């Protein structure tokens, strides 16, 4: 009977080992490819925005033209009138792009064409001065080559401070409990460090390989960083 049980133990042990190896490979993949997946997500979002913008322009062109098929499919037989009309539409589109902040922050920063960003949508989609400051900070970080260091870059609409969280770090907020100890009330970081359902109540519960930071450690004054005067 023992001889009959042993093969099953080997099989179960092998399955458990495979599960452990697969889990380790998945965690390594999530950590190692995180920056690239973030860039891909940003690119996909910008592409969707660009497609929406192109769709809206196509609808306007169809309403203004007697031959919508030609406006979507240019040919060598198009008349001079068509070319002039298209040139005017392009000029109008360029003029429609916002040039200066409505919040008194001055001209918008130049965005390299190779980024492929929808500039018009970028500036028209901001609702508050904090939104615009965050976008300006993100643009400067990308130009300086530092944006890829961070898993996220946010802004506190109350204080106006920007909080860039580096990969491998968790941003925490503390409060003092009834025993006088510092208890974590909020934690923010990359999903690989804070999987769904993970709750840390005290800093001692956080694995030692994770760097713990507070707002005071990482906060950036966007006006100083961008060299802007407060309006």
CA angle 196, 197, 198 (to 5 degrees): 95
Residue 33 has pLDDT above 60, yes or no: no
Residue 147 has pLDDT above 60, yes or no: yes
Name which of 53-62, 134-143, 185-194 the model is least confident about: 53-62
Q: What is the pLDDT, as a whole number, of residue 72?
A: 30
Hunting for tokens 């040919």 — which residue is that? 75
Q: What is the pLDDT, as a whole number, of residue 124?
A: 87
Q: What is the pLDDT, as a whole number, of residue 163?
A: 96
209 contact partners, CB below 8 Å, separation of at least 6: 168
Kindly indicate the confidence band of residue 157, based on its pLDDT and cuts at 50, 70 and 90: very high
Name which of 15-29, 47-61, 79-93 the model is least confident about: 79-93
Domain ranges for the chain: 129-231
**pTM attached to this predicted model:** 0.59
DSSP 8-class letter at 25 = H
Calculate Rg over the CA atoms of the chain: 26
């Amino acid at each position: 009977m023992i001889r009959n049980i042993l093969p099953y133990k080997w099989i179960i042990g092998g399955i458990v080992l495979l599960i452990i190896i697969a889990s380790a490979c998945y965690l390594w993949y999530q950590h190692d490819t995180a920056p690239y997946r973030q860039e891909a997500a940003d690119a996909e979002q910008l592409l969707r925005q660009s497609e929406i913008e192109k769709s809206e322009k196509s609808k306007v062109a169809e309403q203004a033209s007697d031959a919508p098929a030609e406006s979507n499919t240019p040919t060598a037989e198009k008349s001079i009138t068509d070319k002039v009309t298209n040139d005017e539409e392009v000029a109008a589109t360029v003029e429609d792009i916002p040039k200066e902040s409505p919040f008194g922050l001055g001209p918008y920063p130049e965005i390299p064409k190779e980024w492929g960003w929808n500039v018009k949508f970028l500036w028209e989609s901001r609702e508050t001065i904090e939104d615009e400051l965050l976008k300006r900070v993100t643009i400067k970080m990308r130009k300086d080559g530092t944006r890829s260091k961070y898993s996220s870059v946010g802004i506190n609409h109350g204080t106006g401070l920007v909080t860039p969280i580096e990969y491998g770090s968790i941003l925490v907020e503390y409060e003092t409990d009834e025993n006088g100890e510092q208890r974590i009330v909020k934690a923010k970081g990359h999903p690989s460090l804070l999987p769904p359902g993970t709750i840390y109540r005290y800093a001692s519960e956080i694995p030692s390989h994770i760097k713990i930071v507070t707002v005071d450690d990482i906060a950036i004054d966007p006006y100083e960083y961008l060299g802007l005067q407060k309006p």
